[in-house]
Structure 1
Amino acid sequence: MFFPCCVQCGTQDNPCRCKFVGPTLGFVGFAIAAIIEWPVGAVVYIFKHSKGRRIMGHPVNVVYPKVSSCIPF
């Protein structure tokens, strides 16, 4: 079984300057949101291009950064 893990080094959020839990949970949240939002965005894109792009970009622009930054380690 493959479990994705992400490591972000060089941050100022904690004393060891590495983050493991936040980016990993951010990636999992991104994947869950993308599974739901990308097909919806593709259908909306047919009728309204800009709205469809915004929906498909939501996991990258909003979900991942918020989840990743809320956990400091």
Structure 2
Amino acid sequence: MTGGIGIPACVQCGTHSNPCRCKFVGPTLGFLAFAIAAVVEWPVGALVYCFRHTKGRRIMAHPAAVIYPSVSNAIPI
């Protein structure tokens, strides 16, 4: 048996940001940045949600709405 932890990989095809029309590095780094931000922001957002619903929702949505698209679109390959 072989065991190991694989690296998450995301591929986005059909984009017009590069000649081969596929992105690999940007979406993968975007996902990793999303996961790291989510580990921190979701518990904080859940705590804030107990007192201020709108603010808590905004905090919990931040990784998906801001972090992932920013990192993914910043790298064209």
TM-score by length of 1: 0.99
2:37 counterpart of 1:33: yes
| Equivalent residue number for residue 6 of structure 1 | 10
Structure showing greater Rg: 2
For structure 2, the residue ranges without an aligned partner over 5 or more in a row are none
| Equivalent residue number for residue 51 of structure 1 | 55
1:21 to 25, 35, 57: 25
Residue by residue over 1:35-68, the C-alpha shift from the partner in whole angstroms, topping out at 9 and shown as x without a partner, is 0000000000000000000000000000000000
Question: Which residue identity lines up with residue 45 of structure 1 in the other structure?
Answer: Y
Relative to its length, the structure with more helix (as a share) is 1
2:60 counterpart of 1:60: no
User: What fraction of aligned residue pairs are identical, expressed as a percent?
Assistant: 70
Question: Which residue identity lines up with residue 18 of structure 2 in the other structure?
Answer: N
TM-score by length of 2: 0.94
RMSD, aligned α-carbons:
0.3
| Equivalent residue number for residue 71 of structure 1 | 75
For structure 1, the residue ranges without an aligned partner over 5 or more in a row are none
TM superposition outliers: structure 1 runs of 4+ over 2 Å: none
Alignment length (residue pairs): 73
